[in-house]
Structure 1
Amino acid sequence: MKRAALVADQLFPPDDAPPPWPGRSVLLDGSIMYVRDTPATSAGAEPALYVHGLGGSSTNWTDLAGLLAHRLDGQAIDLPGFGRSEPARSYSIPAQAARVARWIEYSDRGPVHLFGNSLGGAIAVRVAGTRPDLVRTLTLVSPAMPFLDPRRSMQSRMLPLLAVPLAERLATWQLAKITPEEMTRQVTDACFADPSRISEQRRLEAIEELRRRYEVDHYVASYLRTFRGLISSFLRAYLPGPGSQWRVAAQIGVPTLVIGGRQDRLVDIRVAPQVARVIPDSRLLILDGVGHVAQMEVPRMVARAVVALLDEVGHRADAR
Structure 2
Amino acid sequence: MSGIQFFRRISGRFFVCLATSGLVLMLSGILSACAPTVHSAGPPVGQISLEPDSFQTSDGTNLRLQKWGAVDHPSAVILGLHGMGDYANAFMELGEQLSASGDADAVIGSVGGIAVYAFDQRGFGRSPSRPFWAGTRSMVDDASDMLILLGDRYPGVPIYLLGNSMGGAVAIVVAATRPSLMDGVVLVAPAVWDRGMMSWYQTLPLSIMSHSLPWLPLTGRGLEIWPSDNIEMLRRLSRDPNMMSAVRVDMVAGIADLMDMARVRVSDITVPTLLLSGREDQVIPTAAIDAIDRDLRAQNLPSYSRCLYQAGYHMLLRDLNGSVVIRDIARWIAAQGTAENYSCTE
What SS does structure 2 have at the residue aligned with 1:270? helix
Q: Distance in 2 between matches of 1:253 and 1:292?
A: 25
Gaps spanning 5+ residues in structure 2: where? 1-51, 100-104, 106-112, 341-346
Task: Tell me which amino acid in the other structure corresponds to 2:277.
Answer: G
How do residues 109-258 of structure 1 correspond to structure 2 at under 5 angstroms?
109=153, 112-147=159-194, 148-150=196-198, 159=206, 162-163=209-210, 165-168=212-215, 170-171=216-217, 189-192=225-228, 194=229, 197-199=230-232, 202-203=233-234, 205-210=236-241, 220-221=247-248, 224-234=249-259, 237=260, 244-258=261-275
After TM superposition, which residue ranges in structure 1, 4 or more long, deviate above 4 angstroms?
41-44, 155-158, 186-189, 211-214
Task: Tell me which amino acid in the other structure corresponds to 1:96.
Answer: M
Give how far 1:230 is off: 2.2
**Is the alpha carbon distance of 1:41 and 1:103 closer, same or farther for their aligned partners in structure 2, counting shifts above 3 Å?**
closer
Give how far 1:49 is off: 0.5
Q: Distance in 2 between matches of 1:85 and 1:112?
A: 24
- Partner residue in 2 for 1:99: 142
Q: Could you give the per-residue CA deviations for residues 209-250 of structure 1, whole angstroms, max 9, x where no partner exists?
A: 237758xxxx844xx44422221244xx4xxxxxx4344222
Give how far 1:61 is off: 1.3
Gaps spanning 5+ residues in structure 1: where? 1-22, 238-243
What SS does structure 2 have at the residue aligned with 1:209? coil
What SS does structure 1 have at the residue aligned with 2:161? strand
Q: Distance in 1 between matches of 2:179 and 2:257?
A: 24
Query: Aligned-residue CA RMSD in angstroms?
Result: 3.3
When Rg is computed on C-alpha atoms for both structures, the one with the higher figure is: 2
Q: Distance in 2 between matches of 1:211 and 1:161?
A: 29
What SS does structure 2 have at the residue aligned with 1:53? coil
Task: Tell me which amino acid in the other structure corresponds to 1:302.
Answer: V
Q: How many residues align?
A: 262
TM-score normalised per structure 1 = 0.70
Give how far 1:157 is off: 11
TM-score normalised per structure 2 = 0.65
Give how far 1:96 is off: 1.1
Q: Distance in 1 between matches of 2:143 and 2:224?
A: 26
The answer to whether structure 1 residue 25 and structure 2 residue 90 are counterparts is no
- Partner residue in 1 for 2:276: 259
- Partner residue in 1 for 2:8: none
Identity %: 22
How do residues 42-53 of structure 1 correspond to structure 2 at under 5 angstroms?
44-53=74-83
- Given that 2:78 and 2:116 are in contact with CA atoms closer than 8 Å, whether structure 1 keeps it comes out as yes
**Is the alpha carbon distance of 1:265 and 1:162 closer, same or farther for their aligned partners in structure 2, counting shifts above 3 Å?**
farther
- Partner residue in 1 for 2:116: 74
Q: Distance in 1 between matches of 2:243 and 2:129?
A: 15
**Is the alpha carbon distance of 1:156 and 1:308 closer, same or farther for their aligned partners in structure 2, counting shifts above 3 Å?**
farther
